Amino acid sequence: MTENKTKSGKTYVLSDIHGCYGKYLMMLKKINFGPEDTLYFLGDAMDRGPDGVKVTLDIMSRPNVHSILGNHEAMALDALPVFETLKDIYKGRAEETACVTPDDVYKVNHWYDNGCLPTRKAFMRLPKSERKRVFDYMKSLPLYREIEVGGREFILVHGGLKDFSPDRPIEDYSPHDLVWERPKTYTKYFDDKTVIVGHTPTRLLGTPGKIYHGDGFIDIDCGCFSDNVLGCLCLDNMEEIYV
């Protein structure tokens, strides 16, 4: 179902903050983000940088910021229950049947390999009730959003649309297709709507530190952690804003 922008204010998309809390706040200040505005966040608030939990908590506190699931949130959802089990086993609070399986080990290692350490440490320092609140929030995130702004239709997704076909309903794509896929520069996407993605740093597409415009898709992951640039796109006038 397409969400229609009806209220006043501007509509922005942002992605892949990766724990860079300072840059995130600088971006909100630069765009003069207020209660009448709307921000769609395309996932990956956490990991690599130091303050992913702070970014996530701030996003959670803002009713006019709407997120979708990123692959780093997906990895956290897989791995965090394992850490909770380990913590309970260590403190003697676990059930006798509690154990860690090889699949659990893979989930933890996969998250570690993708820069989870600062996130895991900050998350486990939270009170248990707050950990549950953050976990439940991430679990509630949709895989994509369809919105309309100024008569233009957009599909917002973290990764991409694997094995894309214009006749394929978006509901037919798997979570892995949407969260982990990377856009194909040689693919022509929809004629009547624009796909906006994060996940793939734009330097991999040939425009380091700048938003990439393809044939029916836009990549806004400018490499906040790796390339020191956070990019934001205003959907009302397609203005590009950088920190």
What CATH number is attached to the domain comprising 61?
Answer: 3.60.21.10
User: Looking at the structure, do residues 130 and 166 belong to the same domain, yes or no?
Assistant: no
Q: Are 21 and 47 in contact (CB under 8 A)?
A: no
Read off the pLDDT of residues 148-188 as tens digits, 9 standing for 90 and up.
999 999 999 999 999 999 999 999 999 999 999 999 999 99
User: Looking at the structure, do residues 218 and 106 belong to the same domain, yes or no?
Assistant: no
198/233 Cα distance (integer angstroms): 12
Q: How confident is the model at residue 210 (pLDDT cuts 50, 70, 90)?
A: very high
The β-bridge partners of 147 are 3, 154
Q: What is the pTM of this model?
A: 0.94
- Relative to beta strand 231-234, strand 38-41 is unpaired
Q: How confident is the model at residue 98 (pLDDT cuts 50, 70, 90)?
A: low
pLDDT surpasses 80 at 127: yes
| For residues 210-236, average pLDDT | 98
Mean pLDDT of the chain: 94
212/197 Cα distance (integer angstroms): 10
Q: At which of 139, 171, 194 does a domain end?
A: 139
Six token digits for residue 183: 């856009």
- Specify the pLDDT at position 233: 98
Lowest-pLDDT choice from 88-102, 130-144, 184-198: 88-102
pLDDT surpasses 80 at 4: no
- Specify the pLDDT at position 8: 82
Domain count, the chain: 2
User: Looking at the structure, do residues 77 and 151 belong to the same domain, yes or no?
Assistant: no
User: Looking at the structure, do residues 149 and 58 belong to the same domain, yes or no?
Assistant: yes
Domain holding 118, by residue range, is 72-139
Q: How confident is the model at residue 99 (pLDDT cuts 50, 70, 90)?
A: confident
User: Looking at the structure, do residues 41 and 65 belong to the same domain, yes or no?
Assistant: yes
Q: Is 194 helix (H, G, I), strand (E, B) or coil?
A: strand
Q: Going along 137-209, which residue ranges are E strands?
A: 144-149, 152-157, 193-197
- Specify the pLDDT at position 94: 52
Q: How confident is the model at residue 100 (pLDDT cuts 50, 70, 90)?
A: confident
Read off the pLDDT of residues 41-90 as tens digits, 9 standing for 90 and up.
999 999 999 999 999 999 999 999 999 999 999 999 999 999 888 766 55
**pLDDT exceeding 70 applies to what percent of the chain?**
93
26/24 Cα distance (integer angstroms): 5
14/230 Cα distance (integer angstroms): 8
- Specify the pLDDT at position 97: 55
- Relative to beta strand 11-14, strand 144-149 is unpaired
Q: Are 120 and 84 in contact (CB under 8 A)?
A: no
Among 177, 187, 212, which residue's Cα sits nearest to residue 198? 212
Q: At which of 83, 111, 139 does a domain end?
A: 139
Give the H/E segment covering residue 75.
helix 71-90
Please give the backbone phi and psi of residue 153, each rounded to the nearest 5 degrees, phi first: -100, 140
- Specify the pLDDT at position 84: 84
User: Looking at the structure, do residues 46 and 166 belong to the same domain, yes or no?
Assistant: yes
**pLDDT exceeding 90 applies to what percent of the chain?**
88
User: Looking at the structure, do residues 86 and 150 belong to the same domain, yes or no?
Assistant: no
Q: At which of 139, 165, 195 does a domain end?
A: 139
User: Looking at the structure, do residues 26 and 38 belong to the same domain, yes or no?
Assistant: yes
105/107 Cα distance (integer angstroms): 5
pLDDT surpasses 80 at 209: yes
User: Looking at the structure, do residues 215 and 113 belong to the same domain, yes or no?
Assistant: no
